[in-house]
């Protein structure tokens, strides 16, 4: 069965719903980034002290997907609450040490 996506009509109700549904999410993410910053240098130092030399080593230790470990290792994402708990358990680095307020918020 072939599936051909249909382009929505301009100014359709679906477009309006999509914009309304995702706009608060975008604002919340941008507001979070303005207040807090993920300190990946602290994470990498702790991981290397524990013997991890790559995101793959971190993925095995934390039991997460390799792409999640890569994003954490390269600073593309901040850890979730569950991931921060795993980092604290395995590396001894608390969430407070990983996620710090910016100077404007302090």
CATH of the domain at 52: 1.10.260
What is residue 9's three-state secondary structure? coil
- pLDDT for 77 equals 84
- pLDDT for 22 equals 45
Domain that holds residue 78: 38-100
Question: What are 85's two structure tokens?
Answer: 């708990």
**Does residue 95 register a pLDDT over 60?**
yes
- pLDDT for 38 equals 86
Q: Has residue 3 been placed in a domain?
A: no
Number of domains in the chain: 1
- pLDDT for 17 equals 41
Q: How many CA atoms lie within 13 A of 104 on its CB side?
A: 7
Mean pLDDT of 28-51: 80
Would the pTM count as exceeding 0.85?
no
Q: Has residue 64 been placed in a domain?
A: yes
pLDDT averaged over every residue in the chain: 76
Q: Has residue 71 been placed in a domain?
A: yes
Q: Has residue 4 been placed in a domain?
A: no
């Amino acid at each position: 069965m072939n599936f051909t996506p249909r382009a929505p009509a301009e100014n359709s109700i679906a477009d309006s719903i999509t914009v309304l549904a995702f706009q608060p999410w975008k604002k919340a993410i941008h507001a979070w980034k303005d207040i807090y910053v993920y300190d990946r240098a602290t994470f990498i130092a702790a991981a290397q002290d524990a013997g991890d030399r790559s995101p793959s080593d971190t993925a095995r230790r934390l039991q997460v997907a390799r792409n999640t470990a890569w994003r954490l290792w390269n600073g593309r994402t901040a850890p979730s609450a569950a991931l921060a708990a795993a980092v604290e358990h395995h590396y001894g680095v608390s969430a407070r040490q990983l996620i710090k307020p910016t100077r404007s918020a302090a």
